[in-house]
């Protein structure tokens, strides 16, 4: 029998789309707690109504998390149980909640996680990637073009699978940035668990074309799994990365980044860069 102590913060995973994906334990705790802290009170209120739950709501989002954490801690010290939910999925990963959890821990109070829906593991489960190399969770890549391009190029040197999240208004830019990954496979999960869910596996260089093939394909939230690549070959990969970087950056900066990405000798890359510039 699970024990639900007082004066504790309950970090509760909620559905990422389909309301039926709530767990029985989550429903029990949301009924049990004195208050529910949440990313968006309007969104959470709508969700709770579907389950017949009515509780006081506390707004704890990315813009007020540090100050709001103090109010949550005050409630906990009074012996209350408080739940925290984000708008969808598991809090404190890509959604707010991490600073709240850290503040509650620093205050010496109890924190209990309630597992549930996650776009990360949902996407991985349909990618069909076997083996024990594990995967990397990259979350949302930088929004600025140059920083995003550099982040994608870093993936060339990592043979592990990588999970990337993206919003609809940036998915086409991400697809363009992934072209240098060539034939490396990407499993795209669009609107996972929702009515218009779509899952497809394409080569990274073909992702832009897939998005362009249907107007609905750029809508909704995305979870992408970049499949494992072959171990980096420093010579070929170094020159390939160098060519891509030289198109956007000064020579010395391109050489420095190419060396960091591929671990190729910097002096060799510098000579190659001079030759590329000359040609």
Q: What is the CATH number of the domain that holds 166?
A: 3.30.950.10
218 and 255 assigned to the same domain: no
Q: Is residue 149 part of a domain?
A: yes
Give the residue from 86, 117, 148 where a domain finishes. Answer: 117
pLDDT digits (tens, 9 = 90+) for 120-153: 999 999 999 987 778 999 999 999 988 998 888 8
* Domain extent at residue 253: 234-278
Q: What's the CATH code of the domain at 49?
A: 3.40.1010.10
Q: Is residue 44 part of a domain?
A: yes
pLDDT confidence band for 237 (50 / 70 / 90):
low
Residue 232 corresponds to which tokens in the numbers above?
Answer: 């980096």
**Contact partners, residue 114, CB within 8 Å, separation at least 6:** 10, 11, 12, 13, 23, 25, 26, 29
pLDDT digits (tens, 9 = 90+) for 176-192: 999 988 899 999 999 99
110 and 124 assigned to the same domain: no
Asked whether residue 230 carries a pLDDT value surpassing 70, the answer given is no
106 and 20 assigned to the same domain: yes
Residue 78 corresponds to which tokens in the numbers above?
Answer: 């009074």
Q: Is residue 86 part of a domain?
A: yes
Give the residue from 100, 117, 134 where a domain finishes. Answer: 117
**Contact partners, residue 157, CB within 8 Å, separation at least 6:** 232, 237, 261, 262, 263
Q: Is 170 left (phi over 0), alpha (psi -120 to 50) or beta?
A: alpha
Phi, psi of 105 (to 5 degrees): -65, -45
Q: Is residue 153 part of a domain?
A: yes
Cβ(73)–Cβ(104) below 8 Å: yes
pTM above 0.85, yes or no: no
Q: Is 66 strand, coil or helix? A: helix
124 and 113 assigned to the same domain: no
Give the residue from 117, 148, 178 where a domain finishes. Answer: 117
125 and 205 assigned to the same domain: yes
Of all helices (H) and strands (E), which one includes residue 27? Answer: helix 24-32
Q: Is residue 238 part of a domain?
A: yes
36 and 113 assigned to the same domain: yes
pLDDT digits (tens, 9 = 90+) for 53-74: 999 999 999 999 999 999 999 9
Number of domains in the chain: 3
101 and 133 assigned to the same domain: no
């Amino acid at each position: 029998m699970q024990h639900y102590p007082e004066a504790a913060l309950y970090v509760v995973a909620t559905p990422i789309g389909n309301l039926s994906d709530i767990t029985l334990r989550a429903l029990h705790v949301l009924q049990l707690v004195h208050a529910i802290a949440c990313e968006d009170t309007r969104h959470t209120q709508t969700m709770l109504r579907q389950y017949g739950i009515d509780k006081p709501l506390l707004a704890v989002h990315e813009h007020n998390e540090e100050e709001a954490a103090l109010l949550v801690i005050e409630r906990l010290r009074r012996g209350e149980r408080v739940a925290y939910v984000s708008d969808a999925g598991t809090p404190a990963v890509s959604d707010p909640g991490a600073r709240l959890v850290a503040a509650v821990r620093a205050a010496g109070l109890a924190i209990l996680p309630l597992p549930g829906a996650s776009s990360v593991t949902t996407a991985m489960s349909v990618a069909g990637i076997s083996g024990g190399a594990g995967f990397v969770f990259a979350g949302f890549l930088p929004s600025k073009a140059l920083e995003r391009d550099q982040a994608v190029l870093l993936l060339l040197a990592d043979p592990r699978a990588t999970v990337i999240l993206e919003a609809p208004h940036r998915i086409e830019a991400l697809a363009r940035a992934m072209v240098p990954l060539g034939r490396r496979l990407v499993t795209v999960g669009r609107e996972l668990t929702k009515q218009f869910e779509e899952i497809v596996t394409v080569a990274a260089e073909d992702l832009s074309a897939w998005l362009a093939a249907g107007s609905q394909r750029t809508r909704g939230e995305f979870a992408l799994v970049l499949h494992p690549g072959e171990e980096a070959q420093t010579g070929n990969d170094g020159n390939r990365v160098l060519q891509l970087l030289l198109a956007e950056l000064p020579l010395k900066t391109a050489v420095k980044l190419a060396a960091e990405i591929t671990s190729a000798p910097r002096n060799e890359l510098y000579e190659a860069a001079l030759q590329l510039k000359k040609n």
